[in-house]
Structure 1
Amino acid sequence: MPLGIKQTVPFLTVADTDASLRFYLDGLGFSIVHEWRPRGRIEWCMIRRDEGFLMMQEPAPDYTGTLPEPRGQGVVVIFLCEDALVLYHEARERNIPVSEPFVGNNLWVVSFTDPDGYRIDFESETDVPEETTYTEWLASRNSTL
């Protein structure tokens, strides 16, 4: 029987919500949808850009468990979008560190690493040949003009 799942929202444990929010809001253009301020500052929130969502939260001050370090090791969050290269250009304009886009699995891949080490990828379909870098693609376009 179908569950009626409507959406998947990755939940990230972060060391410093303020630093993470600067990265996602100021750097990647997300906005806050919901927030929780139990001690006068945001400790949990849901953010979005277009139809892509993330949740993040710091561990409670009295948390005594262990968390993996670096936190984001082995975690990749992928946002499928219409044109990932738009975000690459936005990041460059804002001086946000971003990897050079490349084509993988018929998708442009624009990759960021957030303050906790989570890899955040934005990907969009393309017919550009596999493993082509953005620089190579631009050069090939300019040589045909």
Structure 2
Amino acid sequence: MPTLQRKEEKLAPNIQQVVPFLAVSNIEASLRFYINGLGFEKTKEWIDGGKLRWCWLQLEGAALMLQEHRPDKPPSSKPGEGVSLCFQCNDALAIYRAALANGLHPQRPFVGNAMWVTILPDPDGYKLDFESPTDAPEEALYSDPD
């Protein structure tokens, strides 16, 4: 099967990371959600005409790019529809508790495919799934210890 690398290049990896590029309706609302709500850090940005147009966000080993739709080129469909971003983490329940503490509204965590799953929609409807391995029974629901 052909690959994206020539055989002589296999010693040094060429593809380093895949980073989702999300088109958003309001970049400021998205930044509040991702930075203030989830703890991402803005590490790169493009400012055009005094307005933030694009940015790169980083949280530990995960990254996202955000770009606001141009007013003269609205999206042809609803942003976020049918898109899920799955973050593999050590403790999805910690993400749930932190999201609640930061004023976000995650769904109640459940067990699916031997993983705790915390689902959180972003302001544009992109579905963020934070998942971590568990031995809890399938379809179990999280009970907050408080």
TM-score range, shorter-chain basis?
0.7 to 0.9
Deviating 4+ runs (over 3 angstroms): none
Aligned residue for 2:52, secondary structure, equals: coil
Instruction: Pick the aligned partner of 1:68 from 73, 77, 81.
Output: 77
Structure 1 residue aligned with 2:98, among 90, 99, 102?
90
Gaps of 5+ in 1: 140-145
Q: Is 2:121 the partner of 1:113?
A: yes
> 3-state SS of the aligned residue for 1:127?
coil
Percent identity between the aligned chains?
Answer: 44
What per-residue deviation string (whole Å, max 9, x for no partner) do you get for residues 22-79 of structure 1? Answer: 000000111101111112132101101101011010123443x64312x111000011
The 1-side partners of 2:99 and 2:70 are apart by 32
Does the 8 Å contact 2:69/2:75 carry over to 1?
Answer: no
Match of 1:10 among 20, 23, 26: 20
Higher helix share: 1
**TM-score calculated relative to the size of structure 2:** 0.86
- Structural RMSD (CA): 1.6
Residue 101 of structure 1 is aligned with which of 101, 104, 109?
Answer: 109
Please give the per-residue CA displacement for 1:98-119, whole angstroms capped at 9, x wherever unaligned.
1000111111101101110100
Please identify which structure carries the higher strand content. Answer: 2
Q: Taking structure 1 as the reference length, what is the TM-score of the superposition?
A: 0.86
